[in-house]
Amino acid sequence: MADIAGPSNSRFCAHCGLPVYGRSPEKGPAYCCVGCAILATVAGQPGDAPGAETRRSRALLLRLGLAAFFAADVMVLSLFLYSLEMPGVRVHTPASVLALMRGLALAFSVPVMVLLEPPFLKGLARDLRRGRFSLDSLIAIGAGAAFIHSAVAVLEGRAAVYFDTATMLLLVVTAGRLLEANARLEGKRALEGLVRLQPPQARVWRGEACLAPSRMERLADRAAAAFVPLTMALAALVTVYWQSAGPGRAWLIGLSVLVVACPCAMGIAASLANVLALGAAARSGVLIRSTEALERLAGVRTVALDQIAEAAEVLAACRKLGLRLMLLSGDRTAAVEEAARRLDVADYAGELLPEDKVTRIRATQAQGQRVAMVGDGLNDALALAAADVGIAVSSGVEVTREVAQVAFLEGGVWKLPRLFELARRARRIAIQNLAWAFGYNAVALALASAGLLRPIWAALIMLASSVVVIANALRVRK
């Protein structure tokens, strides 16, 4: 499987197109997560022989199906063993039967480890080489420690085994990453489909959309990168603190801390919502160059237009969103004044040269306003570049699309209100996801450190956290 990048030098995922960070692979493509690497393996590479995709799909489904089968067997055995420890349960089970059940749990765990652990071990090895740790390290160490501890316990005849933690952790994390990668890929496919349908208008955008991370995404990535070593340090401290309760109990609590931590929710909190928003925009015929441009759109408070034939209802919808409107046109002043009166726009100017428009935009920016410029002509190129977000309409010349961050490939300014609504919804959902991710980790780590979570429940709660983030991000498309 190809290399999976971690935080550092920016590149882009060969499968979903999102930014990835870390050491460049010596050969082959880089992927942002195990899920994308697996899905890319299924999808295949250019030049693959006919039928290769089908063979890969069947092989992957077979691996996941086998792992799920064996993990379910381990869970059944573990639940019986755990039930014997419950208060008030008095069931006499011969020691030979208990030993057999623990041995079977070990035997059923081995295939799961062989099928699902290698990608995480590869990530751990990469992290060790570059001296920075990712979620792969937490999963590899957590699952590996639970398996090794339990295997040694079986060989020594001890009762405490946690094979269910090792197997279910690998299973649920792999399943969650596949779900996440599929959601991200949906947005990328929408963009690629629009580019294929509109090659003359979109060719200058090919390969650019969906790549540059936004400020919020960069902050989340840095937080996730710092979170992993802090979690590992906390797990070590907790293990030492709980030694008074016995080494087995202390080890179990430390493992719960490792397992319950979910930096993946931080990492996808903003990026997934943004890339789905780019896909939603693409399906409506709007190309947004990057998630950075999408984030800027959400913060726009002033919209400057150069056209005087605008639909009044569109501008009314923009006003309802709290947007201030400006008419900056090169047309005759009398015509611009008449259009401003008809459209109820108080801030207008006519007979402007390209440099005059730039001056007006920069003056508005100096007042603390983020400005979007909508234009279609050659004389709008400078203003589009000067604005926080340049928006080129479908009738515009190619140079305007080259400098703009947003392009309407069909239709006109009637799409403006929906565009701003989409950007604001994406930002709102990204903030919600980040708040959830940070809040979840704070509460979950506190519970695990207090010894209130078994590792298996910690693994399931960690998966649930990612599912919540993914489900919330999918609301961007509505």
Higher pLDDT, 245 or 182: 245
* DSSP single-letter state for residue 23: P
* Tokens, residue 387: 């604005």
Is the pLDDT score of 185 beyond 90?
no
pLDDT in tens, 241-274: 999 998 888 988 998 898 888 676 777 788 888 8
The reported pLDDT for the residue numbered 221 is 74
Distance from C-alpha of 154 to C-alpha of 142, rounded to nearest angstrom: 18
Per the CB < 8 A criterion, the answer to whether 281 and 358 are in contact is no
The reported pLDDT for the residue numbered 38 is 60
pLDDT in tens, 64-121: 888 999 999 999 998 888 877 776 667 778 889 999 999 999 999 999 999 999 988 9
Is the pLDDT score of 152 beyond 50?
yes
What percentage of residues in the chain have a pLDDT greater than 70? 77
Q: How confident is the model at residue 54 (pLDDT cuts 50, 70, 90)?
A: low
Long-range CB contacts (within 8 A, 24+) of 235-239: 238/448, 238/449
The reported pLDDT for the residue numbered 137 is 85
Helix (H) or strand (E) holding 401: helix 398-403
pLDDT in tens, 300-315: 999 999 876 678 888 9
Helix (H) or strand (E) holding 324: strand 324-328
What average pLDDT does this structure show over 438-450?
A: 92
Distance from C-alpha of 341 to C-alpha of 327, rounded to nearest angstrom: 11
Is the pLDDT score of 322 beyond 70?
yes
What average pLDDT does this structure show over 382-409?
A: 82
Higher pLDDT, 33 or 343: 343
Most confident listed range (171-175, 189-193, 388-392): 388-392
What percentage of residues in the chain have a pLDDT greater than 90? 36
Instruction: Assign 346 to helix, strand or coil.
Output: coil
Q: How confident is the model at residue 453 (pLDDT cuts 50, 70, 90)?
A: confident
Higher pLDDT, 50 or 98: 98
Is the pLDDT score of 218 beyond 90?
no
What average pLDDT does this structure show over 339-363?
A: 93
Q: How confident is the model at residue 215 (pLDDT cuts 50, 70, 90)?
A: confident
The reported pLDDT for the residue numbered 13 is 73
The reported pLDDT for the residue numbered 4 is 39
Is the pLDDT score of 210 beyond 60?
no
Higher pLDDT, 287 or 322: 322
The reported pLDDT for the residue numbered 258 is 85
pLDDT in tens, 4-38: 344 344 466 776 665 665 544 555 677 766 556 66
> What single string gives the DSSP state of each residue in 442-459?
HHHHHHHHTT---HHHHH
Domains of the chain, start order: 52-275+428-477 (no CATH), 284-421 (3.40.50.1000)
The reported pLDDT for the residue numbered 202 is 47
* DSSP single-letter state for residue 243: G
Q: Which of 229-233, 351-355, 456-460 has the lowest mean pLDDT?
A: 456-460
What average pLDDT does this structure show over 323-351?
A: 93
CA dihedral (161, 167, 168, 172) in degrees, to 10, reads: 160
Q: Taking all residues of the chain, what is their mean pLDDT, rounded to a whole number? A: 81
Is the pLDDT score of 184 beyond 70?
no
